[in-house]
Structure 1
Amino acid sequence: MLSTLEVFTTVVVGVMVGVEFAVAFVMNPILNALPEDSRQSGHAHGGRMLGAVMPVWYIGSLVLVGVWAVAGRHHDGTALVVAAGALLLLSVVMSVLLLVPINNRNKTWTPENRPADWQEQVRRWERLHYVRVAVIIAAFTLLVSALV
């Protein structure tokens, strides 16, 4: 049963990392190459869509890692799982305190009502997102290491 939990958790976190990596290094560059109104609309739509899914994914991943850490507390690699959990917790805290407030504003903007500094706010979100991606990649790497 523990092996199933380990693999399932690693896959869930790995897919989350893949989605967030794709947002940072594929979707945002595509959106940023569009004309201004389309760019802003695309960012707002992405914020609405992923803003609905990612909180569940982040919290679910953290819970799964916590269950793994408790269930496997007497096995090799538990320290790596706990460290991964700490990094995922950091990513949740970063999200709630830094990224979500920007996203909550961004997802309501239209070309008609966006603030004058909307591009700077999007760029700030993107910079913070790069840091968050690095944190969750590190967490994923620790989970994979704990498996071997």
Structure 2
Amino acid sequence: MLTALEVFTTVVVGLMVGVEFSVAFVMNPVLNALPEDSSQLGHAHGGRMLGAAMPVWYVGSLALVVVWAVAGRHHHGTGLVVTAAALLVLSVIMSVLLLVPINNRNRTWTPENRPADWKEQTNRWGRYHHVRVAVIIAAFTLLVAALA
């Protein structure tokens, strides 16, 4: 049963990493290359769509890793799993304090009501997101190492 939990958790976290990686290195560059109105509307739509799904995914991933750490506390690799959990906690804290406030504003913007500094705010979100992606990649890597 523990093996199934380990594999399931690793897949769930890995899929989250894949989505966030593609946002950072595929979707945002595509959206940023569009004309201003289209770019801003695309970012707003992405903020609404992923802003609804990702909190559940982040918290769910963290919960799975915590269950793995507790259930496997006497097994090899538990330190790696606990460290991965700590990194996922960091990613949630970063999200709540840095990314969500920007996303909550961005998802309501239209070409008619966006602030003058909308690009700066979107770019700031992107920089924070890159750091968060690095953190969750590290967490995922630790989970994969714990499986070995």
Which amino acid in structure 1 is aligned with residue 60 of structure 2? Answer: G
Tell me, in whole angstroms, the C-alpha distance in 2 between the residues paired with 1:12 and 1:4.
12
- Match in the other structure for 1:18: 18
Deviation of 1:5 (Å)? 0.1
Counterpart for residue 142 of structure 1: 142
TM-aligned CA deviation for residue 9 of structure 1: 0.1
Please state how far the C-alpha of 1:14 moved relative to its aligned partner: 0.1
Distance 2:140 2:124 in 1: 24
Using the aligned pairs only, state the percent identity: 82
**Aligned partner of 1:84: which letter?**
A
Q: What displacement does 1:75 show? A: 0.1
Aligned residue identity for 1:109: W
Matched, 1:30 2:30: yes
Query: 1:132 matched to which residue of 2?
Result: 132
Partner of 2:57: 57
Q: Unaligned stretches of 5+ in structure 2?
A: none
What is aligned with 1:112?
112
- Deviations along 1:19-49, one digit per CA (max 9) or x if unpaired, are 0000000000000000000000000000000
Structure 1, gaps ≥5 residues long: none
Shift of 1:123: 0.2
Cα drift, residue 124 of structure 1: 0.1
Partner residue of 1:79? 79
TM-score (norm 2): 1.00
Distance 1:27 1:128 in 2: 15
- The one-letter code matched in structure 1 to 2:75 is H
Alignment pair present for 1:46 and 2:46:
yes
The one-letter amino acid of 1:101's match is P
The Cα shift of 1:66 comes to: 0.1
Please tell me the root mean square deviation across aligned C-alpha atoms, in Å.
0.1
> Normalising by the residue count of structure 1, what TM-score does the alignment of the two structures yield?
1.00
Secondary structure of the residue aligned to 1:108 is: coil
* Matched position secondary structure for 2:34: coil
Shift of 1:85: 0.1
CA distance in 2, matches of 1:134, 1:67: 23
